[in-house]
Amino acid sequence: MDTTDLATPRRALAVGAHPDDIEFGCGGTLAKWAAAGCDIHHLVCTDGSRGTWDAAEDPAQLVVTREQEQIAAAAALGGTSPVTFLRWPDGELEAGLRQRWQICAAIRTIRPDVVVGHDPWKRYRLHPDHRNAGFLVTDGIVAARDPLFFPEQAIAPHRPSTLLLFEADEPDHVEDVSTSVDTKIAALLEHRSQLRTTMHVSATDTSREEELAAFATRIRERLASTGATSGFDAGEAFKRMDNL
């Protein structure tokens, strides 16, 4: 990889489309930074109301459950600040001006050194929420840094120093997460209502432990192969953008 390991930021803001995207995309990096004293912030764009294979599930209850799980996952990573929920309908997130306004306000309020989000340019991506959440981050950064964008917010502009994009189409930066693999897995497992759809843990009997172990093994193997590109035991890869 071209670069590895940013200096630990004072504050970092991670933006995900759904509950669990941040943990999958950059949970190890956030946990490592939090352990080193970084103030990590989560912002989740949608309400997670459609992420189920069970048509009988109550979407309103699912929203409440997903938010509770996301709060627990952020805490598991070492986050001590409240999670920001924008609550756009799952599957219908648009990269529009109202959403950009919200991301801009969050960046100006939280004032992160580093922003982390989905790569909107990842090719052959199916889910529109991931693509649009990515564009909201890039567009929100442009708005947040210049005072004549959304001046009615009456919050001082803020320019982050670095943007890291996960699920990157052309990754060029790796963070060493050797010390935070277990924390990332623990945070992912807080998303209990998504165990079946995203973690392939469906059993309720004794084989559940085996399925959970298999999930943890898959995560470890993925982090190990990413880390190997940079000589780390475990790594998370990003597209890095500076000079924002």
Binding site for Zn ion (CB under 5 A): 17-18, 21
The DSSP call for residue 168 is: -
The residue whose Cβ lies closest to Zn ion is 18
Shortest CB 117 distance to Zn ion, Å: 12
Shortest CB 122 distance to Zn ion, Å: 12
Shortest CB 208 distance to Zn ion, Å: 24
* Residue 224: Cβ-neighbour burial (10 angstroms; 0-12, 13-18, 19+): middle
Q: How big is the CA angle at 126 (ends 143 and 66), to the nearest 5 degrees?
A: 75
Shortest CB 60 distance to Zn ion, Å: 20
Most distant pair of Cα atoms in the chain: their distance: 59
Q: H/E element holding 118?
A: strand 114-118
Output 15 or 163, the one with its CB closest to Zn ion.
Answer: 15
What is the three-class DSSP state of 16? strand
Q: Which residues contact 171 (CB under 8 A, 6 or more apart)?
A: 1, 237, 238, 239
Q: Which amino acid is at 24?
A: F
Output 54 or 242, the one with its CB closest to Zn ion.
Answer: 54
Output 21 or 113, the one with its CB closest to Zn ion.
Answer: 21
Output 48 or 160, the one with its CB closest to Zn ion.
Answer: 48
Output 100 or 191, the one with its CB closest to Zn ion.
Answer: 191
Residue matched to tokens 């950059």? 26
Shortest CB 3 distance to Zn ion, Å: 26
